[in-house]
Structure formats: structure tokens, C-alpha cells
Structure 1
Amino acid sequence: MFQLDPELESFREDARKMAERAFAAKAAYWDEEEIYPTENLKLLAELGYLGLVIPEEYGGSGAPIIQGTILLEEIARVCFNTALVAQVGINGPSRAIAVLGNEEQKKRWLPGCVSGENIFGIGISEPGAGSAMTDMITSATPDGDHIILNGQKCFCTGGHVATHILVFARWGKTQGPRGIGALVVEKGTPGFEIGHPGPKMGGRGVAEVELFFDHCRVPVENLIMAGDP
């Protein structure tokens, strides 16, 4: 049977005490009032937890992913909304950028993820495809030094407060996973709109929103990976 080593057990104990002390008291409040737990995001950043698994050269701690998983478990024990916030920071777009991004992109975005200044959402699900990535139809069309996005996403967790969205889209006519790529769209980019939050049964402090792209021109410097044409 798998067991944590003493160092990870000690980390779990510290994370549990921190979560109970900092997040338990207002856990129901975020859900009842449908308010994003901004103060908890700030605390996670101050404690270095948003950068826990981000490499040290970009301001993070460079911890193994299992340590991030332990942290998420302990936060989720007491406050699901705060766990959603931490999840996006630990296992979400920032990790994808750390693994797949080029050096310029890592330097541009990751320090802000560690500090909490950059809040990333992720655009995968679509109204006609759910989370079946291979069925997505949002299109990405190269156009000189830009990429033009057209389409719609749904269920973007925390998209209502995001400063950046990691969007997955289809390049050309190649079907299946090989035709899919990803790029970062910044809030305020012309042609990009964020829809109103929809109703949820739980985790209501971190809303799910729709994303709309209408001839949205994204600089090619924001391309994380291109799909096959």
C-alpha cells in the first residue's frame, strides 16, 4: 500500500492546520453569497502555495506534484471554493505553461501566477461537445502575426475573475486530438467576451461562465502549441 514519507506527512499536517485555521470559518459564506474568495487567493499567494509546483526560476517552489495534490486535499476538506481557486493555480494553466510554454512565455506569465496577479481560467468545454476535447469546433486560424479565434466555450471555472484564459481550439480541418492546439487570451482582447455566471448546486463562490470569441485576434506570441492544419 502506498504511504507518504515522513516529510510529506509533515507537510500534510501543516497544510491541514493552515486550512482549518484560515479557510474553515467562512467556507459556507462563499457558497451562500456566491462570492469569489479573493482574500483566500491572496493568502495562498502570500504563503507561496500558488507557486508550489512552479519551477524556482520563475518564483515558485519547484515542489513535486504530489505535494500540490496533498495541499488540495487538505484545503478541500474545509472549503471547496478555495480548493477550486488553488486547483487552477496548481494543476491548471500555469502548470501547462511551465511544461509546454517557451522561455519568454514562462518569464512573462508564471511570476504573476505565483503572486496571484495573474488569474488563469481554462477554455475547453463547448456547448456541443462538453469536455470531449476531440469534438470541439472552436477554430484557430493563423493570420500573419496573429491567430484568429472563433467559437464558444462553456463551464470556464473562475472565468468571471480571470485575467487570462488558456483556450484550446482546432487548427484547420484535422480531426481528432492532432488538430487541437492551445493559446493564451488576455482579458480585454477585442473580440473576446465573458458571459454571465450560470447557476450551480455547489462551489458557487467560483462561478462557471461562457466564453465568446468573434474574430478575436490573439498575438502569435501567446501560442502555447499549434494543432495540425
Structure 2
Amino acid sequence: MTHPEFLSQPAPFDTPDFDTLLADLSRHAAQVDQNATWPEWQFSRLADEGVLGWVIPNEYGGSEIDSEMLIFGYERLATACLTTTFILTQRNGACQRIAGCGNVELKAELLPNLCTGRLFATVGVSHLTTSRQHLTQPAVQVEMADDMFVLNGQIPWVTGAKPADYVVTGGTCEDGRQVLIALPTDLDGVSMEEPSSLLALDGSLTGSIGLDNVTVDQHYLLAGPVEGVMSHGQGGGTGSVATSSLAVGLAGRSIALLMHESDGRPDLRDIVEPFAAEWSNLRFNLYSAARGEATPDTPHLTSESIRQRANSLALRSTQALLAATKGAGFVSGHPAERGIREAMFFLVWSCPQPIVTAALREFACLVD
């Protein structure tokens, strides 16, 4: 089986059925965006094609593909429907945390049903990593009582909060230690707030979850109590190449549409070719990083460098598409205007301060 030269191996999912899945997702992407609808049908298609098993260990029914293949899958899916793919990354983050924990009983209970799509899990951990850590009082306070944890506070920025059966989340104890749990959303005291209205990806139903004296059995403990609980176990980190792969996928979609526009407009070819070359080079770097090939002598393979360039390319290529499509691209529902809004998402999603600073410097034309 042949494979793209930027990959080290053929993708196990690179089949005609997967191509059909991508076409299906692409065909319905505008509807998901404009109607702000939860992509339930899209996730049933992901389940049908085995995508939901990508991060699930084999013993629980999954395929557990390696990092390079996972990144490739995310990129291709993001080209078709960014909303669905973003939700998938949050769901996969939850699955990876569950699969990577030492709670054997809980893994056997949840992972097979997560693999088939019978259960949906998501993550709510921004308050444990980058969000609200500056506050004197933790966003979620935890009191330990016998074999129980009592949670109070608010979990911000939870994608798919309302549809979720479980939320991988946590909080901070009085002594500063933290716990990570798989929170059942049907427990007393758990309240789902209305999803925020967003610039893009409204279909992700991202909102906050309130916790009012929520008592959670130790059965659902994934990690802790320990300081810096998010540094323990498995899961994608802030600014990881997984996040960048979605930006690369969005850029690829915009560049492909620019190429289509240039077929009948020779004046665009000088514009499209540099974009295509930059995208190709970035993909080589992305997959080299995914394979762990970065060294101190390859600063262009750091996750920070790749994220900065992926963000920049997504922003510039989507705006170029709008300029090329003119008034038609400015009409709500056109791929150009949707792409521009989606590109803005990468300025705020898991975006560490060095990436934000790099973007601001580029906007101010202060790039070296």
C-alpha cells in the first residue's frame, strides 16, 4: 500500500470507506455550522467507520493507532468538518485519560461503550491547566470524605456538556492537591448551563457545568489526590501537535478551494503556489514532530513552532480565499466566510501565551 511521502507508514483507515465518510462530513458541515446543531449523525458515522476506537486500547475493542496516524486522521477529518473534529479531540482526550489511568474496573466499565459510541465523554480541565489558575479560590473545590469526593464550583468551557454521559474533570483540595475524576453527569447537583454563543463551532455546544455539593464515589477516580494532577497520566497537552493538525486541515481546505478558483483565473496562480508550498512543508514538519523526531537542533519541529505556523497559515489562507471569492464568499454559509470564523478559533483554543504573542507580533508586522 502506498502512502504520502510525509508519512512513515500507510494509514490503516485510508480506505474508500473513509473517503466516503469525509465526503459525508463535508456535505453536512455548513449545516452543522449555521444551525449550531450537535453532530449526532456525524458521530454515528464515526462509530460506523471505527474512528471512535482510534484511542481505545485493543483489549477494550479499539484500534489504538499511534500518534502519527492519529494526527493524520485529525487533519483529514478537520478538512471535512472542523466542528465534528474538534468535538472528537475533546472526546478522545477524555478517553485517553480514562485509558491511561490505573482504575482497571472503571476502564472495563466505560471504554467498550465509549468505543462503540453508546457513551459520550468529554473533558473539562481548563481550570486545572491554563484557565482561572490565577484566582484565589479554585474554580472547583474538592472535599474528601471517606471514600467520597464532594465537588463545588463551576467547570468552564466544556465541549458537549449537555450530550455528555461523563466529563473527565477535577478540582483542588484544601491542601492544594488535585483530583481527576470521570464525573457522571446524572449525579445530583450537576447542572448544565446553556452553551455559549460562539464566533464559530457553535455546534460543539460548549458551555459551563455547575457543581453544587456533588458527591462522587471513589470508583470514578482517575488520578490523585496529587499536586498538578494534569501532569500525571496520558492526554494531549496545551499547544500539542494534535491541536495544530486541525489548523493544518483547515488551511488545506482553504488552499484546495483557492486552487479550484485559480483553474479559471490565471492571476491567482502566483498566489496559490506559495500557499501550497508552505502547507506542504508544514505537513512534513507536523508529522516529523508527531513521530518524535524533534531534537535541540530542529527548532522548527517544536510544538510551539508548528502551532505558530499552523495558526498563521490558517488565518492567511482563509482570508485569501475570501478575497478571491469576493462578494460571494462574504455571504453567510459560504466556505470562505465559515473558514475565516473557524480560523479565529485557533487564537483561543489551547493557545499558550508564546503563541498568542507571536500572533500579535505578526498582526503588528513585527515579525523578524
TM more than 0.5:
yes
TM range (shorter): 0.7 to 0.9
Amino acid at match of 1:23: L
Tell me, what secondary structure is at the counterpart of 1:227?
Answer: strand
**Is the contact between residue 19 and residue 74 of structure 1 (CA under 8 Å) also seen in structure 2?**
no
**Is the contact between residue 15 and residue 75 of structure 1 (CA under 8 Å) also seen in structure 2?**
no
Amino acid at match of 2:83: N
Q: Which residue of 1 aligns with 2:101?
A: 100
Q: Which moved more, 1:74-83 or 1:134-143?
A: 134-143
Residues of 2 paired with 1:134 and 1:19: CA distance? Answer: 43
Residues of 2 paired with 1:101 and 1:211: CA distance? Answer: 26
Any residues of structure 2 matched to 1:167-206 within 5 Å, and which?
167-174=169-176, 179-206=177-204
Residues of 2 paired with 1:44 and 1:134: CA distance? Answer: 38
Residues of 1 paired with 2:183 and 2:211: CA distance? Answer: 10
Q: How many residues align?
A: 221
| Greater gyration radius | 2
Q: Which residue of 1 aligns with 2:316?
A: none
Residues of 2 paired with 1:180 and 1:169: CA distance? Answer: 6
Tell me, what secondary structure is at the counterpart of 2:181?
Answer: strand
Q: Report how far residue 130 of structure 1 moved.
A: 5.7
Q: Which moved more, 1:137-146 or 1:114-123?
A: 137-146
Q: Which residue of 2 aligns with 1:152?
A: 154
TM-score normalised per structure 1:
0.87
Any residues of structure 2 matched to 1:1-229 within 5 Å, and which?
3-8=6-11, 11=13, 17-90=19-92, 92-126=93-127, 131=131, 136-174=138-176, 179-228=177-226
**Is the contact between residue 132 and residue 139 of structure 2 (CA under 8 Å) also seen in structure 1?**
no
Residues of 2 paired with 1:196 and 1:82: CA distance? Answer: 19
| Offset from partner CA, 1:167-220 (integer Å, 9 cap, x none) | 12112222xxxx222011112101111111111011111111111111100011
Tell me, what secondary structure is at the counterpart of 2:126?
Answer: coil
Tell me, what secondary structure is at the counterpart of 1:161?
Answer: coil
Residues of 1 paired with 2:148 and 2:28: CA distance? Answer: 44
TM-score normalised per structure 2:
0.56
**Is the contact between residue 126 and residue 157 of structure 2 (CA under 8 Å) also seen in structure 1?**
yes
Amino acid at match of 2:211: F
Residues of 1 paired with 2:190 and 2:95: CA distance? Answer: 21
Q: Which stretches in structure 2 are left out of the alignment for 5+ residues?
A: 228-368
Tell me, what secondary structure is at the counterpart of 2:10?
Answer: helix
Q: Which has the higher helix share?
A: 2
Amino acid at match of 2:217: P
**Is the contact between residue 12 and residue 70 of structure 1 (CA under 8 Å) also seen in structure 2?**
no
**Is the contact between residue 46 and residue 52 of structure 2 (CA under 8 Å) also seen in structure 1?**
yes
Residues of 1 paired with 2:145 and 2:124: CA distance? Answer: 21
| Offset from partner CA, 1:137-169 (integer Å, 9 cap, x none) | 411211122110011111101112111111121
Q: Which stretches in structure 1 are left out of the alignment for 5+ residues?
A: none
Residues of 2 paired with 1:62 and 1:121: CA distance? Answer: 18
Residues of 2 paired with 1:6 and 1:165: CA distance? Answer: 34
Q: Which residue of 1 aligns with 2:278?
A: none
Amino acid at match of 1:172: E
RMSD: 2.3
